[in-house]
Structure 1
Amino acid sequence: MTGKTNHGRFFEDYALGQVIVHAVPRTLGQGERALYHALYPARHSLHSSDEFARASGLSASPLDDLVAFHTVFGKSVPDISLNAVANLGYAEGRWLASVWPGDTIASTSEVIGLKQNSNGRTGVVWVRTTGRNQDGIDVLSYVRWVMVRKRDPEAPAPETVVPDLAQVVAPESLVVPRGLDFTGYDFALAGEPHRLSDYAPGEIIDHVDGVTVEEAEHMMATRLWQNTAKVHFDATNREDGRRLVYGGHVISLARALSFNGLANAQMIVGLNAGAHANPCFSGDTVRAWSQVLDIAKTGSPGVGAIRLRLVATKAGNGTELRGADGKYHPHVLLDLDYWALMPV
């Protein structure tokens, strides 16, 4: 058999400063919007209605912000996480430009950190991944770190470099889409009357609803984003014979569920931190709650920013996340810290 197939990179295949160009560019259209709204209970008005978007100063309705995230992330999987043991976290994420139907998105990643684990069989790789459109404009940039298997446990460890990452994306660095104007915002059409001043740091919002994950749906979603990680498709890849649900699928489910209580948190513009706390499997029912962490002004008319902690669980909505040992409770699926734009 010839060696033309891609078995993915192992820990010793990464080098500090290495830039990886990911295949294959992806042209996005209204089909991706329709499938996104079919797979998740997504209904934020700015991403649903051209007319609502035009009334808010945009030329039309951009694609959902997480469509951009999944597309950029999916491109990186064959090069970054095909042999990953776990996707450990996110930081310094910023949505830099809207993605519109017809845009073609390509991705690159730069290796910014390496650390071999003490067991000698795995290591952690930090990468900064950037998505760009057909005009060379950056649409999204974020850091993530993954634990990756070594091909050869005896291979020498690289010099340890752990990047110094910001705990929070500074509000003044958030990018508001050009022209966005919420001074004439229609709260009735958006679905809720709550504006930025109605929320206070520390407030917790139970999003009430739940969605049971179906095997076919999570695999369809993962294929849609061209994520090729074996654990999501191949039931023989895990000892328990179960397909692991792509963590981004849980992010989108939780974000969509957050509409009930946060219908006016219209656009995601910053990703401060994130952890896929425990695995999700078909048959699990995902519920969500949010905690308001901060609010901030922007320079755009009528537009403010709200910092939210979005938590997805599979067994009720209790707000205790960790045990005495500091580890997440088994029912916690997702712990995500992000900024969204909201009318003041």
Structure 2
Amino acid sequence: MGKTNPGRFFEDYRLGDVIRHAVPRTVAEGERALYHALYPARHALYSSDEFASACGLEGSPLDDLLAFHVVFGKTVPDVSLNAVANLGYAQGRWIRPVYPGDTLRSESEVIGLKQNSNGKSGVVYVRTRGFNQMDEVVLDYVRWVMVRKRDLDAPAPETVIPELAQVVAPDDLVIPEGLTFENYDFELAGEPHRWGDYEIGEKIDHVDGVTIEEAEHMIATRLWQNTAKVHFDATFREDGRRLIYGGHVISMARALSFNGLANAQMIVALNGGAHANPCFAGDTIKVWSEVLDKAETGVPDIGAIRLRLVATKQGAGEFAYKGADGKYLPEVLLDLDYWALMPI
């Protein structure tokens, strides 16, 4: 007794705490193969060393969201093991590509706390940074999580809600060193559409759908060592169902968006995101995107495109995601706002 870790509860967090998460993880080519087996991911920059080399990189990086999942998974035992729900993301930036052979570790700082009015749980805000083996930051982001209290009589902390920018400014987007789309091969990438072909306000139905399987979700959460009880333990929820990891929905939605956005090659920022409703095995995910903004990057042949990615179950409600009351429609699973790089 006393040697096992029950995870942190809401009253265990203190503003300013910095948590160095176990366990560092070296990612290899097998990671890419598993990722592409789990999701229909086809973006050329992440599929071909030759294509990536022609774009000025040393080789094909691992998918941006794969790096995100590895960094995120490290944080779960310390941040969201006893979570009721992962509520949102903000101010995420991919700083450096992650390549096979890199070793990733994670570190989080508690930047906000707010006890819920029911006194049974509270919201914890953390800023997480992922580092490679050279202690270089590869990505950072803010997320907030609703966490249970262990002791309902524990006093509520002072409420501190961090001020978070709604959008990562285009000037703060990091273009990977050497990246160029000067010799970009649109035919091999899969679509002819350039940055200039997209208009702000345009909506794209990505057509394809995928039905979520329990087995794939279990492989994904184990692959990234995500130990949150709601994903593994069917007795943890009153309805006896395991929640599908929100990151699984994000990756599935991003992969499905290839049809119509094949040239949105690199995700460089996460402006905001919400897991609007729970996802369970048997749900069929369909997605659509809206072009929210466009920006030049300072690199002549690379443009930034800001996209809203919406995933719905069973594809209900064409291009709709919120009702007249401003609340998410019940069929909406994900609302993700991100910047990607695209050839001009």
Place the TM-score, normalised by the shorter chain, in its bin: over 0.9
2:212 is matched with 213
Give the TM-score of the pair, scaled to structure 1: 0.99
State the Cα distance separating 1:131 from its structure 2 match: 0.2
2:64 is matched with 65
Alpha-carbon RMSD: 0.8
State the Cα distance separating 1:32 from its structure 2 match: 0.3
Query: 1: CA distance between counterparts of 2:285 and 2:180?
Result: 34
2:97 is matched with 98
The correspondence of residues 166-315 of structure 1 with structure 2, limited to 5 A, is: 166-315=165-314
Q: Tell me which moved more, 152-161 or 259-268.
A: 152-161
Q: Secondary structure at the match of 2:164?
A: coil
Tell me how many residue pairs correspond in the alignment.
343
Look up the equivalent residue of 1:176 and give its one-letter code.
I
1:326 is matched with 326
Look up the equivalent residue of 1:151 and give its one-letter code.
R
State the Cα distance separating 1:315 from its structure 2 match: 2.4
Give the TM-score of the pair, scaled to structure 2: 0.99
Query: 1: CA distance between counterparts of 2:221 and 2:209?
Result: 20
Query: 2: CA distance between counterparts of 1:328 and 1:276?
Result: 10
Look up the equivalent residue of 1:118 and give its one-letter code.
S
2:156 is matched with 157
Moved over 6 A (4+): none
Q: Secondary structure at the match of 2:23?
A: strand
State the Cα distance separating 1:299 from its structure 2 match: 1.9
Query: 2: CA distance between counterparts of 1:245 and 1:131?
Result: 23
State the Cα distance separating 1:236 from its structure 2 match: 1.1
State the Cα distance separating 1:168 from its structure 2 match: 0.1
Look up the equivalent residue of 2:129 and give its one-letter code.
T
Q: Secondary structure at the match of 2:160?
A: coil
State the Cα distance separating 1:319 from its structure 2 match: 1.7
**1:281-323, CA deviations, whole angstroms, 9 ceiling, x for partnerless residues?**
1111000000000001112231110000000000225122122
Look up the equivalent residue of 1:103 and give its one-letter code.
D
Look up the equivalent residue of 2:225 and give its one-letter code.
Q
Q: Secondary structure at the match of 2:86?
A: strand
Query: 2: CA distance between counterparts of 1:306 and 1:205?
Result: 14
State the Cα distance separating 1:137 from its structure 2 match: 0.2
Look up the equivalent residue of 2:81 and give its one-letter code.
L
Q: Please, which runs of 5 or more residues in structure 2 have no aligned partner?
A: none
Query: 2: CA distance between counterparts of 1:249 and 1:259?
Result: 16
Q: Secondary structure at the match of 2:117?
A: coil
Q: Secondary structure at the match of 2:330?
A: coil
State the Cα distance separating 1:324 from its structure 2 match: 3.1
Asked if 2 retains the 8 angstrom alpha-carbon contact of 1:107 and 1:132, the reply is: yes
Look up the equivalent residue of 1:343 and give its one-letter code.
P
Name the % identity: 77
The correspondence of residues 40-189 of structure 1 with structure 2, limited to 5 A, is: 40-189=39-188
Look up the equivalent residue of 1:270 and give its one-letter code.
A
State the Cα distance separating 1:19 from its structure 2 match: 0.1
Asked if 2 retains the 8 angstrom alpha-carbon contact of 1:57 and 1:179, the reply is: yes
Q: Please, which runs of 5 or more residues in structure 1 have no aligned partner?
A: none
Q: Tell me which moved more, 236-245 or 133-142.
A: 236-245
**1:159-205, CA deviations, whole angstroms, 9 ceiling, x for partnerless residues?**
11110000000011001110000011110000000000000110000
Query: 2: CA distance between counterparts of 1:78 and 1:137?
Result: 23
Asked if 2 retains the 8 angstrom alpha-carbon contact of 1:180 and 1:301, the reply is: no
Query: 1: CA distance between counterparts of 2:279 and 2:3?
Result: 33
Look up the equivalent residue of 1:341 and give its one-letter code.
L
